[in-house]
Amino acid sequence: MTSTAPQGRSAGKFHLAFIFNFTPDDWQGPFGTGGSPWDGKFHTEVAQALERACFDYVIVEDKLMVPESYGGSAEAALKQAMVVPKHDPVPLAVAMGVATSRLGIVATLSTLAYPPFMTARLSSTLDSMLGGRFGWNIVTSAEDLAAQNFGLDKLPPRDVRYEMADEYVDVVKQLFASWDADAVVLDREKGVYADHTKVRPIHFKGKYFQVRGPLNTVPSPQHRPAFVQAGASPRGRAFAARNADSIIAIANGVEGMKQFREDVRAHAKDQGRDPDTIKTLFCVTPVLGETEQDAREKQARMVSSPQFIQDILAQTSALTEIDFAQFDLDEPLPRRLETNGEQGSLDQLQQWGSGKTLRELVIDAAGGLVSSVDLVGTPDQVAERMGEVMEEVGGDGFMITTPLLRLNRRYIAEVTDGLVPALQRRGLTRSAYTPGNTLRQNLLEF
Ligand SMILES: Cc1cc2nc3c(=O)[nH]c(=O)nc-3n(C[C@H](O)[C@H](O)[C@H](O)COP(=O)(O)O)c2cc1C
């Protein structure tokens, strides 16, 4: 325990969300589907299981390139199905959304790739189709290779990306507001579908975007669908604190989590927002077993495999565009590495100054690159620990993910039928959805 009390209300109940990608599942593993879940059914079933466990939302990540950073070629990424191949998140979000009725569905749309009008229209349409359960994961993209798919030679520097994204989000919000909530009147007697005095152009002319408006779809149940963001740099956190209803974060241990959340809350206050309206969810990858020893052995088996080490490095190369194949596994990294891409994921791995060899760093990052705190044990032990961690951090919840983002049904069952019931027994997470709530209302509930 630390001496300073966490800010905001005490943890009490906390939120759960789940992130997974759409590359093949754990295709080589004994519990995988064999690698061809391209019809969307696997993902739909996962969404249904998460809804049964009362998760607030599932997030569909996205990347827009075939990585070539590791070893200077696409071989590692394609051979191991790492980051690629993947499906487009939007149709998958629709499939998952129509197969569920309470779970929030969050899809990633990059400000680099979609014109703001299209993002606003897509998000609004999805929010209408899903009865107020849609969220937009706002990313700026972080790879030159992605930028080259959209007419650029190089990714703009991070500060410019966020400056563009600030303006982009303003446009999107103005487009949502271009229809008053009550613009659709459906007056059969007068023969009026929508009141034209309640629908206005926005005439937006900024540094980067020019959009006339209004939007050409109806206001959705949330009117402004929920916004999710994962900025880790100081600039990224400021952006998230300005715009997000929920933030996905990776931090180093309990102290790091607490600092991250307090930093976000301070930024939010600076911008005149109530910090309790932003829910920071920390990425964790629980390793669950029937006994503690079972879970520890499972983790040890996973991290000691040479394939695991190579996969983690190939994934890190993809996210940072730094070639990790160039470094000796049994030496410390030669210098502190920097990227215009995902610096947070990089820092999580490199633990600069620790003196550890690259192999040790990877093994340390055992749960993939996405574990803020180690959670290894039986469902009851892990649930207990999650409660303690949230109590110390002050809130707001966890984003559960998978080692290397490779999923199989067994892992989902361990989480939804082992861990979540243990959390619910302790009153730590939701055991039922409040009928009629939108995603944002679910997030604001506690
Ligand atoms: C859990 C998590 C999921 C993310 N998902 C995506 C994603 O789907 N697509 C993407 O382009 N970036 C994704 N990012 C990257 C973030 O949008 C952001 O670029 C990154 O965290 C680095 O922060 P920074 O941009 O402030 O440096 C993700 C980051 C985290 C931590």
Would you give per-residue pLDDT tens digits along the chain (446 residues)?
334 455 544 458 999 999 987 677 788 888 887 777 689 998 899 999 999 999 999 999 999 999 999 999 999 999 988 889 999 999 999 999 999 999 999 999 999 999 999 999 999 999 999 999 999 999 999 999 999 999 999 999 999 999 999 999 999 999 999 999 999 999 999 999 999 999 999 999 999 999 999 999 999 999 999 999 998 888 999 999 999 999 999 888 899 999 999 999 999 999 999 999 999 999 999 999 999 999 999 888 888 787 888 888 888 898 899 999 999 999 999 999 999 888 877 887 888 888 999 988 888 775 544 567 889 999 999 999 999 999 999 999 999 988 666 788 899 999 999 999 999 999 999 999 999 999 999 999 99
Please report the pLDDT score of residue 49 as a whole number: 98
CB-ligand 1 contact for 108 (6 Å cutoff)? yes
Instruction: Tell me if 399 sits within 8 A of 248, measured CB to CB.
Output: yes
Q: Tell me the pairing of strands 397-400 and 15-20.
A: parallel
Residue whose CA is closest, atom 11 of ligand 1? Answer: 141
Please report the pLDDT score of residue 3 as a whole number: 40
Instruction: Tell me if 375 sits within 8 A of 285, measured CB to CB.
Output: yes
Residue 254 in tokens:
């309990």
Of 160, 322, 342, which is best to mutate to test ligand 1, by the most ligand atoms within 8 angstroms of its C-beta? Answer: 342
Residue 78 in tokens:
């394609």
Residue 278 CB-half CA count within 13 A: 32
Report which residue type is found at 427: G
CB-ligand 1 contact for 264 (6 Å cutoff)? no
CB-ligand 1 contact for 64 (6 Å cutoff)? no
Instruction: Tell me if 345 sits within 8 A of 257, measured CB to CB.
Output: no
Spatial distance between the Cα atoms of 242 and 168, rounded to a whole number of angstroms: 13
Q: Cβ contacts of residue 427 below 8 Å, gap of 6+? A: 13
Give the predicted TM-score (pTM) of the model.
0.94
Spatial distance between the Cα atoms of 367 and 314, rounded to a whole number of angstroms: 15
Spatial distance between the Cα atoms of 426 and 429, rounded to a whole number of angstroms: 8
Please report the pLDDT score of residue 178 as a whole number: 98
H or E element: which one contains 145? helix 144-147
Q: Which atom of ligand 1 is nearest to the CA of 138?
A: 17
Spatial distance between the Cα atoms of 20 and 62, rounded to a whole number of angstroms: 9
Give 376's strand partners.
287
H or E element: which one contains 423? helix 420-425
CB-ligand 1 contact for 245 (6 Å cutoff)? no
Spatial distance between the Cα atoms of 232 and 254, rounded to a whole number of angstroms: 16
CA angle 245-276-228, nearest 5°? 15
Which of 174, 20, 162 lies closest to 89, judged by CA?
A: 20
Q: What is the widest separation between alpha-carbon atoms in the chain?
A: 78
CB-ligand 1 contact for 158 (6 Å cutoff)? yes
Spatial distance between the Cα atoms of 22 and 87, rounded to a whole number of angstroms: 6
Please report the pLDDT score of residue 27 as a whole number: 82
Residue 216 in tokens:
């050409």
Of 23, 61, 320, 339, which is best to mutate to test ligand 1, by the most ligand atoms within 8 angstroms of its C-beta? Answer: 61
Write b or e for each residue in 48-67: b if 16 or more Cβ atoms lie within 10 A of its Cβ, otherwise e: bbbbebbbbbbbbbbbbbbb
Which of 372, 400, 384 lies closest to 50, judged by CA?
A: 400
Residue 107 in tokens:
């899809």
Spatial distance between the Cα atoms of 109 and 88, rounded to a whole number of angstroms: 10
DSSP letter (8 states) at residue 326: G
DSSP count for the chain of H helices, then E strands: 16, 14
Q: Cβ contacts of residue 399 below 8 Å, gap of 6+? A: 17, 18, 19, 59, 248, 249, 281, 282, 283, 284
* Cβ neighbours of 258 (radius 10 Å): 19
What's the fold here for domain 15-176+223-292+368-443?
TIM Barrel (3.20.20)
DSSP 3-state of 227: strand
Give φ, ψ of 9 to 5 degrees.
Answer: -70, 160
Q: Which atom of ligand 1 is nearest to the CA of 59?
A: 8
Instruction: Tell me if 385 sits within 8 A of 377, measured CB to CB.
Output: yes
Residue whose CA is closest, atom 18 of ligand 1? Answer: 231
CB-ligand 1 contact for 19 (6 Å cutoff)? yes
Please report the pLDDT score of residue 437 as a whole number: 98
Residue 200 in tokens:
């206005």
Q: Which atom of ligand 1 is nearest to the CA of 233?
A: 26
